Structure 1
């Protein structure tokens, strides 16, 4: 284990460079540049809030904020896992030339998406102030579900990156799977409207628990339930463990499929 930690510390500056490169490439030649990391989620949240608040009339207190919290969580997971999936393929030229721990490329994509997540949270906070919503001290605990979200996304990202190297079809199929996952995550609807069989199916989704905890601490000022917290943490850690195992087992063969 100490060898892996030392290896990570050694390549930490390289990881920072990759993250910086990803952010710069994304906003290259734009007038506002990196400022879009804040403006983009702020504008998207505003538009979605207006549209969905008028289309859906669920009996939910602060429905715009309910929706925006869902968008923050789901959009990060979608962005992080989608980018991580192509991390190894997109860095093929560098991987073939020099030795770099291959997991660093996946981590850099997740970290780049993490910057957008932080900007989205800042935008959400600004919208809450603009709507004169009550600000609870429990908002400080939002780092807990967000941390579990990042762990979950990294685990899934490692698995997807491994599969994508061998089977490129997953790059095209994943957007369809994410569309299905969105409807299996209570982003725009309350759990109370679901029939019992579908309720249990949606609760199996780890994103659901993370989203419920995030909404509770941000909007409603409620502490996360201990059972839900422990179960969600176990799922996230298990997912990361499986992702690391799958990635480590197949990484030596990446060079033959790139």
Structure 2
């Protein structure tokens, strides 16, 4: 284990450069640059809250804040895993030339998405101020579910990046999967509105529990239950271990397919 830690510390400057590169590429030639990370969720929140509050008339207090918190969580997962999925393929020329721990390319995409997540949380706080929502002390606990979200996304990203090197169709299939996953995550609707059979299916989604934990501390001033924490620990870290295992088994064959 100490060897892996030393190896990570040795290449940490490279990781910093990869994260900076990802941010620069994403906002290259954009007038507003990183501000789009703030504006995109705000615009989508306005559109979704107007449409769904009038069509479905969900009885949710401060519905715009409810939607935005769901967007922030789901958009991070989608952006992080999509970026991680193609990280090895896109870094093929560098991998062929020099030795670099291949997992760094995956982690760099997760970290760059996390920076965007922090900017999105700024938008969330701005909405809370604009709607005169109370900022309770429980907000200080939000790093806990966000940690589980990052760990879960890293595990999924490692698996996707390892499989996509050989099976490029995954890139297209995953787009369909994330669309379906968004509707199986209570981003725009309250889970209480679902029929029993569908509610059980949505509750199996790891993002549902993490999103509920975020909303508990951000909106409702509730401390998430110990059972929610246990479930999040099991789901996220099991996925991380599985991702590390799959990536470790496949990484030696990457050079043959990129």
- The residue number in structure 2 matching 1:219 is 219
- The residue number in structure 2 matching 1:92 is 92
Would you say 1:72 and 2:79 are equivalent positions?
Answer: no
TM-score, reference length from structure 2? 0.97
Say whether the 8 Å CA contact 2:202–2:208 is kept in structure 1.
yes
Query: Displacement of 1:37 after TM fit?
Result: 2.9
- After superposition, residues 108-257 of structure 1 pair within 5 angstroms as 108-257=108-257
Equivalent pairs counted in the alignment come to 258
Q: What is the CA–CA distance in structure 1 between the aligned matches of 2:85 and 2:112, rounded to whole Å?
A: 13
- The residue number in structure 2 matching 1:101 is 101
Query: Displacement of 1:236 after TM fit?
Result: 0.2
Q: What does the per-residue CA deviation read over 1:158-182, in whole Å, with 9 as the maximum and x for residues that have no partner?
A: 0000110010000011010111111
Mean CA deviation greater in 215-224 or 50-59: 50-59
Listed as ranges, the gaps of 5+ residues in structure 1 are none
TM-score, reference length from structure 1? 0.97
Q: What is the CA–CA distance in structure 1 between the aligned matches of 2:38 and 2:61, rounded to whole Å?
A: 26
Q: What is the CA–CA distance in structure 1 between the aligned matches of 2:51 and 2:17, rounded to whole Å?
A: 39
Query: Displacement of 1:61 after TM fit?
Result: 1.6
- After superposition, residues 28-67 of structure 1 pair within 5 angstroms as 28-67=28-67
Q: What is the CA–CA distance in structure 2 between the aligned matches of 1:59 and 1:126, rounded to whole Å?
A: 23
SS of the residue 1:138 aligns to: helix
Say whether the 8 Å CA contact 2:41–2:68 is kept in structure 1.
no
Listed as ranges, the gaps of 5+ residues in structure 2 are none
Q: What is the CA–CA distance in structure 2 between the aligned matches of 1:40 and 1:201, rounded to whole Å?
A: 29
Mean CA deviation greater in 218-227 or 49-58: 49-58
